[in-house]
Structure formats: C-alpha cells, structure tokens
Amino acid sequence: MPGFGSPRIHEHKEETMRSTDLLSALHNLPTRSMLAAAVIAAAMLLGAAATNAQGLPPLAKELNPAQTALILVDFQYPFTSPDGANHRNVKKEMDEKHLLEATLDLVRKARSLGVLVVHITEGYSNDYRELDPTNPGGFHRGQILRQAWKIGTKEQSYYEPLLPAQGDKDLFPPPRIQTTAFGGTGLNEILRSRGIKNVAVGGFTTDVCVYATVANAYDLGYHVYALRDAMAGYFTEQAEQMLKNTYPMWSKVIGNEEWLAMLGPARTTQR
Amino acid sequence: MPGFGSPRIHEHKEETMRSTDLLSALHNLPTRSMLAAAVIAAAMLLGAAATNAQGLPPLAKELNPAQTALILVDFQYPFTSPDGANHRNVKKEMDEKHLLEATLDLVRKARSLGVLVVHITEGYSNDYRELDPTNPGGFHRGQILRQAWKIGTKEQSYYEPLLPAQGDKDLFPPPRIQTTAFGGTGLNEILRSRGIKNVAVGGFTTDVCVYATVANAYDLGYHVYALRDAMAGYFTEQAEQMLKNTYPMWSKVIGNEEWLAMLGPARTTQR
Amino acid sequence: MPGFGSPRIHEHKEETMRSTDLLSALHNLPTRSMLAAAVIAAAMLLGAAATNAQGLPPLAKELNPAQTALILVDFQYPFTSPDGANHRNVKKEMDEKHLLEATLDLVRKARSLGVLVVHITEGYSNDYRELDPTNPGGFHRGQILRQAWKIGTKEQSYYEPLLPAQGDKDLFPPPRIQTTAFGGTGLNEILRSRGIKNVAVGGFTTDVCVYATVANAYDLGYHVYALRDAMAGYFTEQAEQMLKNTYPMWSKVIGNEEWLAMLGPARTTQR
Amino acid sequence: MPGFGSPRIHEHKEETMRSTDLLSALHNLPTRSMLAAAVIAAAMLLGAAATNAQGLPPLAKELNPAQTALILVDFQYPFTSPDGANHRNVKKEMDEKHLLEATLDLVRKARSLGVLVVHITEGYSNDYRELDPTNPGGFHRGQILRQAWKIGTKEQSYYEPLLPAQGDKDLFPPPRIQTTAFGGTGLNEILRSRGIKNVAVGGFTTDVCVYATVANAYDLGYHVYALRDAMAGYFTEQAEQMLKNTYPMWSKVIGNEEWLAMLGPARTTQR
C-alpha cells in the first residue's frame, strides 16, 4: 500500500482532479439533464487491485460458539400442538423429522456449548391496536379475523419443553408483529453487542417467517445456517423449492448434527 | 371513552394496583425463576373492547397517487438484455408478458398520474470491498466469483428506456448491495417524508429481490401492491408458488391495469 | 412535465448517452484510480427545475390528530418520584413547570382529540443479559453497577396517573434498552401503519433520551414537535443550550398549549 | 448449568406453571383492564444469578485493528475551507487543535495499522427531491433555502488530502441526508459483515452530526471512541457541555494518540 506523498499518490491526485473536472463539466451541461442515467452513483471508490476470482477465501469449517446464536422462530401452540390451528399443515413434516424432539436435543447441546439461544415469538394485544386492519396483505388481517395469537392466551403460548430453565442464559424478547425475527425486536443490536457473527435458524415455517428471518439476517451481514431438520414448511411444495433454490443464496442449508459438529466436539466457551 | 376521574377509572386503578401486586409477588418468588415462561411479555396493553371480526374495515378501492410509489427493482442489463447473464431464466416469462413494453407503459402512466417512481438497482465497487467473501450464503459470493454487477460497467447499466427524462421527478438512489430495495438505501425514510402509504413493486425477480422487497415493505407498514405483469421469476416454479401462496400474505397481487385503475381515471395530483 | 417521445426527451436521451460515454471513459482510465474523489456518488438524479428558495412551502399551522402521536419518554419512578435516584437533577425544573400535572392535562386532552398516546419506557432483565458490560460507554454500565431499572421493580414502575384507563387506545410497547424511543421497539413501523406523520415528544430527559428520540424522529422523516413544557433536563445547562441551538434543527420547540391549539379547538377525529 | 431433567428443572417448571396460572388469572379478570399498568412487558426472562456489581468485566485496553473502523464525518468544503459557509463557527477550534493536519496524520496511521477508514459525507440532489421542505425542523429546510450541499458542487466537495489513494481500502459510501452516519447509508450492515466491533468517530460537528453518529453507534451496539482532537463544535459552549456530560454515556472520549496507542505499537493485521 503506497503511503501518502509517494509519486503514485501525486499521479493519483492528478487523476482525481481530472475526474472532478469531468464531473464538474457534466454538472454544468446547459440542460442539466445529463447524469440522467443510473450510472452516476458509484457507491464506493473503485479499487485498484483486481480481485482474483479463484482466490476467494475458504468458508468456515468451524464456528466459535461464543460468536454464534441459535434463533428459534415461533415454537408456539398453533404449530406445535396437535390442537393448534396451523398444525395440520406442518404435521407430516414434523413427524417425519421428529422435529420437536430433535429441536430439544439441538437446544440442549447448543446451550451446553455456550451458543446463545434466542426464542422469537409472535403475539398481539387483545384488540390488535398495533396492527393495521386496512392493509391489503392478508397476514395480519387473517390474525384479526381469526382473533388469533393474542398475548397471554393458550394459543400464543410457547412450547413448554423449550422454555429456558433457571440458569439458562437464553434470550426471550417480547412477542413480535413483523415476519422477520429482527423486526421490531431489537435483536440485531443485542446480537451485535454480544459479538454474534453466526446465526442458525429453525422453526415455523420454512416458507414464511423462517425464510424472512434467514434472508433478513443475510442482508444484516450475518453468516446464516438454515437448520433444515429444525424447520417445517407451511406450503410444502413451495418450502421445498425455496430450500433448493433460494435458501442457499442467503445461508448454508445444513443438518442439526453437521452444524453442531462445526461448533467443535466438546468445546465449552467463555465469551 | 370514559374520561379521567370517572368511576370506571377508579375501578380500573384499583385493578391496576391489584395486578401490580400480583406481578410484584411474582417478582419476589424465592428463586426468581418465576416468569421463566414465555408468557410474560405482553407487548401492548390489553384492550377492553372486543374486536368484531366481521367488522374489519374494507380494503381500499382507490389509491391517492400522492401517497403512492412505484418501485422498480433491478431493471438492469443482466436481466433486460438478451446478452445479459441472467436473461435466460427470465426470457420466456418476459416475452409472454411483453414485460419491458408493459413496464414502460406502466411507468409513463404512473408518472403522469403523479405517482412517485423509484428505480432501485444493484451494484458493487470494483473490488467488492463492501462485501464479505467469507459469507456462506452464495448470493454475493457468486457476484464476486463472476466479477459481476460492477458499478459503471455495461453489465450494471440500467434499462435505458426507463431512465427518467428531464423533468421527471423519479428517485434514483445509489446501487444497493442488500436484497430488499429498502436495505441500506434510505428509501424508507424518504418515502415517509414524502407521505407515501402505498407501494407497488415490479422487476427482477419474483422469487428473489422483488419478494424480499414486498415482504420487507409489509413489515415496514406499507400497503403493498405486487404487480404480477411487471415481474418475472428466476426459478419459475418457485415464483409461481410464491405468487399463489405467500405474496398474498404481504400484498395484493394485481395486474398493471387494475392497479392503474385504482389510481383514478385521469386524476392528477399535487402533493 | 414533458411526456415520453417529446423532442425534449430525445434531446435528453442523447445527453444521457454522452454522460454514459464520459463515465465509461472515466471507468477505463488506465490506473482506475480516477473517480477516487468523493465526487462520484450522486445519490439522486440531478433535477432540472431550479428550486426557488423564496418559494418554500409554508409550515403547517394545523395538525390532523389522526396523523399525530404524542410520545412520552421514561415517565418512571427514578425521575417522577421524590425518592427516585435521578429525581434530584430534574426536580427544580419539574417544580417550576408543574411538569407532572401539566403532562397529565396534556395527555388527557390529546386522548380526547384522538391523538395516539405512546408510552415509552426503559427497563432491563434481572441479570442484564441483553446488555454488554464491556462497552466503554457508561450508560448501560452505570445501570448494571447500580443494579437499576430492572423490569418489574418499583424503580422501573410507570408514573401511575399516566397509565391508560380502560378504553384508552394508548400504545405501551415493552421496555427498551436503546436511548431513542424508536430503538428496538418496532415503534416506527407501527406509527407508519397508523398513518402517523407528526410526533410530539416530552419526558426525561431533554438532553439525553428525549433528545435522542427527537433527532432520530427527524432522521426517520417525521414532523417533530418538542414539547418544552413536558420535558426536563438532566444537565440543566446543556439542556438549555440544546433547546436553543440544536432542537430547532430537528423540531419545532413548542409549548403544550400552542401544540394543542394546532390540533384544533374541539376537533374529534376518526382515523 | 443444570441439564434438562434435573430436579432443579422440575422445581423450575412447577414455578413456571405457577406463574402461568397467575398470569392467566390476571388475563381473565372480568374487566380485562388488569395488566393495564406498564408492568406487563418483561422483555427478557428474569435470570437467576445475581450480577455482582463489583464484578463488571474490565474495559478493553487494546483494540484489534481488524475489528476497528475510523469514521470521518463531513470533512467537506463548508467546514474545511476558509471560504466555506460553516467555517466561521469551527475555525477557532480547528486552529487550536490543528485539526486537519492532526486528522491527516491520524488517518495515515490508522490505514497503516489496518483500521478500516470510512468517509461519510452529506449531499443532496440538485432539486432536493429527497427532502421534505414542509418539515418544521430547520436542518434540511436551511439547506434548501441556502441551496447548499448539492452533490457534485465545489461546496459539497471532500477535503482533498483525506481522499483515499490508489490502494487504500477505505469505504466511501454515497452522500447521506440523515444526521447519523448510519442513516440510509447501509454502513451498519457493511461494518457487521466486516466484523467491526469498535468505531472511532471524528469530524463535524461535535454537537450535531458527530454526536448523532456517536449516540446512534452506541444504540447499535458498537464500542465507540469519540476522538476529541478530530472534531470541532458548531455551538462551542454546547459542544463542551456534551463532551463533558453526555458523550461519556455513549463512548470513551479520547485523544488521537491515546486511541492509536490502544491499537498497538506496530501491529499490522490480516482480517
């Protein structure tokens, strides 16, 4: 890297001035309609060094538990209970995957490795005053029509075996109204202040809130691990398509055991 | 609504105190493990009035152009040009829908109605320094490997006929690196300050960035109109599933003409 | 506004091409160091019409209650009670302004006008697991050291006379850990979905959390009204400086009565 | 940490059930007005372990350059040039601190240590279409009235000696319209994906945009270092008050040399 004051710099400064002149010329074109193209906005300085495509750094094979969080989305009565209103759609996949048992095992191991476990839930006030009943999107409107997911009701209750025991250091933010786990929960800021780099995501459902969380986490800059053993789809066919096509854009789709193995065999960590 | 000082209020205050006592009792349980359940977090006050499910307000049949934006996502060379790297996947649907011509017509009409047109693009610096090449999600990694979408290159250029003409009041934020149109662009804040309530979204692709934008817009509180004539899917089958199953959760899926009709026959508006 | 296909447009398109050529030339300069200047990033298309500085639209003289929220920040025991740990610093100003009585009156009138009243509080879990005790900023570290503001304790309790009565439609989001009322509360998204354009802010303190909320609200695109009768400063001299110098950058600093008057004499509104 | 199924757990579960019963009882109170108090929302599970106030972890004495960014705010013509419109207010302090020279030295050293240097600027389109001229806050309204800070003009230009040279890896996001450096720039997400934990902030002005950036960075979870040698106040008295009173809430206020010393004598780092 050349220091300030090197000949190269002077050469650079000259060019900077030249480009400034050009842009200034552009700016002063009589009609000012120039720059009308998208072109203009170069978000970052154009770097000099050519990136060697073959030279991409390798992906992580190990994860530091102290920098890793496990986010569980909507393990609540409507999905987890046979009597739940949404259970019918997820039952077959849950049974095949032994999803609840597998998730309990996953969470137990994650806790013991020092991974931060985060429970994200959905819930609304009794009169849904925080929602907009005139929104043409059907998600919240449906909840209102069904008078569903009210905070404090059995229907909104958490799957009890997953509840943190005394001494567990899990996070349990208030119920959210947005689809992504990060929406309105302050989770992103808490995870940063905890030094979390990697997030693994499971829960309900593969094609709705889990997908929103995974895509959002990627946009936020996390390394995301989509735990396919710990999630079930609402629209099965769509969920399968997503896991095959677009989940890999935002995450590594991975089995519970393979993910746990990345955290190290018997590592325990102090943050 | 009872005023302060009404008998009802006093009754209420008593109960408030009672609930405070209960919670304070909860808090002082010897082991403090109480409240360990998810239960606790009641995000909002529980309202008294029962919401009448049948009484949901009707959805809008008309839109005020002054409160409406049309967001075009990634009308750029890789998709729009026959020589573009991503064109093959969208070509069939684009041809069937006459997508480019239909979008030009849509934009022309939207502008003339006073709808705010927003052009959102993707783009990266020459050495991708704003990206994380070690992220296991493949989206950005793929761009780096293909050395694609560099700001200022032909490949990153905008579909020229859509470029705003002199006098058009379109917004053209800098290229973004996130999937949703709102990510890192400041668009949400600008739209609020413009009083935008409704957003219509089209572009590339139905199953990737357009979907991210639509779902995100719903989370942000907008009324969203997903313009099915103005979008094309990358993974066709998945895109169809999404339009059928999950798009309606976040938006009204609508044709261009039907959406334009909501804006009024010949209304012109001043904000 | 010229339509597409007008001569003016063709002229424009030509210029677009010219600017594209220039930028493409810039891009291909041998050393690629061009554009190294800040210059580059033109966030928006440069418009053609000169803004007439004298022609700025007038500021609102009236506010629509249905588009207005009153945000109360941290009316909690440490500030409001004579026994509170932070009371000493705000006592004099509270006494002079009869702040609590004035705020009760303000809230009562705001509710009756149909203004959305929002109560924002601060609060932490019993072991502060959501905070980072290693952060060099002293705000949270101080709370941990004093074992202060724990959710459910008397110290964290709300000023009771401000509590919504049955039937009041106030919002009462969960306690927050960030300084701005919008941080991690989902408040911004709820306000948008309610169509809120104007926010008035009062509470504790003028120089800390109220200031953070006011500045943040401006960045988010709201019209902000800083209610000087309803706030008290922690560091009195600094608070005075801020009210004089920088509050007017983000808000209209206004008295309670003057603000209420903007909402109309006896208007009641249905959203 | 007790495992699942331990006696302690069973004890815990019982209590969980008890608290559930209580809350359910609360919920079913005839008038449902209970919980009307603020009380309710317990954001996180209340932990069992008492935090030892004396046991707070020590603050960092060293910073890893690979996890550190230096954010420079608004080193632009209006402040840095003797002819700039805002220069008068900052001149005295700049002279006393030899601010420009000191910052150049700081940046040079930061780059050589491997610290990520980020240049944040302010700028608007030619017709300010991204702003709301009806906002009662005076900040943007003032820019429009003065027709100031237009992208591409001399007035908006960057202080040239700070411009990155070829090979420098600085970030230079597009000009922003919000006060905080994180507003609408995507900076937060980029910094996360780069693994940045610490940010040092300098620039213009101590009491306006630098303060907004510092407070916002704290809310976002960063460890913040406020570089008092590298900033100047607009309202001198207020800036002094802020540095003394409230900056320490969000940051460690520190001199350039002391901060550089924390980064290690001659460490060079690879991320």
Using a 10 angstrom Cβ sphere, with 0-12 exposed, 13-18 middle and 19 or more buried, the burial of residue D218 is buried
Interchain pair C41, D174: CB under 8 A: yes
Count other C-beta atoms under 10 Å from residue D146's C-beta: 12
Residues in a beta bridge with B231 = B203
pLDDT digits (tens, 9 = 90+) for C87-105: 999 999 999 999 999 999 9
pLDDT digits (tens, 9 = 90+) for B222-262: 999 999 999 999 999 999 999 999 999 999 999 999 999 99
Placement of tokens 């109170």 in the chain: D29
Q: What is the pLDDT of residue A265?
A: 63
Cis peptide, bond prior to residue A80, ω within 30 of zero: no
pLDDT digits (tens, 9 = 90+) for A1-16: 222 222 222 223 333 3
What is the value of pTM for the model shown? 0.84
Q: Chains that contact C by 3+ CB pairs under 8 Å?
A: A, B, D
Percent of chain A, pLDDT > 70? Answer: 77
Mean pLDDT of A50-57: 60
Cis peptide, bond prior to residue A16, ω within 30 of zero: no
Q: What is the pLDDT of residue A264?
A: 86
Binned at pLDDT 50, 70 and 90, residue B263 comes out as very high
Binned at pLDDT 50, 70 and 90, residue D14 comes out as very low
Whether B211 contacts B81, CB under 8 Å: no
Q: What is the pLDDT of residue B192?
A: 96
Q: What is the pLDDT of residue C33?
A: 27
Which segments within chain C are labelled E, that is strand? Answer: 68-73, 116-120, 198-204, 223-232, 252-254
Which residues have C-beta within 8 Å of that of residue C15, sequence separation ≥ 6?
A29, A31, A33, A34, A36
ipTM of the complex: 0.82
Which chain A residues touch B48 with a CB distance below 8 Å?
Answer: 126-127
Which chain B residues touch D18 with a CB distance below 8 Å?
Answer: 29, 34
Q: What is the pLDDT of residue C55?
A: 77
Percent of chain B, pLDDT > 90? Answer: 77
Binned at pLDDT 50, 70 and 90, residue A54 comes out as low
Interchain pair C207, D245: CB under 8 A: yes
Interface test with B, best of A22, A63, A80, A126 (most B CBs within 10 A): A126
Interchain pair D220, A49: CB under 8 A: no
Q: What is the pLDDT of residue B55?
A: 76
Mean pLDDT of A110-128: 97
Q: What is the pLDDT of residue A43?
A: 30
Which chain C residues touch B13 with a CB distance below 8 Å?
Answer: 160, 163, 165
- Smallest Cβ–Cβ distance between D194 and the set B48, B132, B174 belongs to B132
State how far residue B152 is from chain A, nearest Cα, in angstroms. Answer: 6
- Smallest Cβ–Cβ distance between D158 and the set C38, C59, C176 belongs to C38
Whether D187 contacts D193, CB under 8 Å: no
Q: What is the pLDDT of residue B88?
A: 97
Choose among C244, C252, C243, C258: nearest CA to C198.
Answer: C252
Interchain pair A12, C18: CB under 8 A: no
Interchain pair D37, B16: CB under 8 A: yes
Mean pLDDT of A82-97: 97
Interchain pair C4, B160: CB under 8 A: no
Percent of chain A, pLDDT > 90? Answer: 77
pLDDT for D244 beyond 70: yes
What b/e sequence results for C247-264 when a residue is b if at least 16 CB atoms lie within 10 Å of its CB, and e otherwise?
bbbbbbbbebeebbebbe
Which whole-number Å values give the CA distances from D241 to B19, B54, B252, D238, in the listed order?
Answer: 43, 57, 52, 5
Q: What is the mean pLDDT of chain A?
A: 83
Q: What is the pLDDT of residue D47?
A: 33
Q: What is the pLDDT of residue A182?
A: 98
Which chain D residues touch B271 with a CB distance below 8 Å?
Answer: none
Interchain pair C45, D121: CB under 8 A: no
Q: What is the pLDDT of residue A55?
A: 75
Q: What is the mean pLDDT of chain B?
A: 83
Q: What is the pLDDT of residue B264?
A: 86
Q: Cα–Cα distance between A144 and A128 in angstroms, integer?
A: 7
Interchain pair B23, C152: CB under 8 A: yes
pLDDT digits (tens, 9 = 90+) for D112-152: 999 999 999 999 999 999 999 999 999 999 999 999 999 99
CB pairs under 8 A between A and C: 143
pLDDT digits (tens, 9 = 90+) for B91-148: 999 999 999 999 999 999 999 999 999 999 999 999 999 999 999 999 999 999 999 9
Sites in chain C below the pLDDT cut of 70: 1-54, 265-271
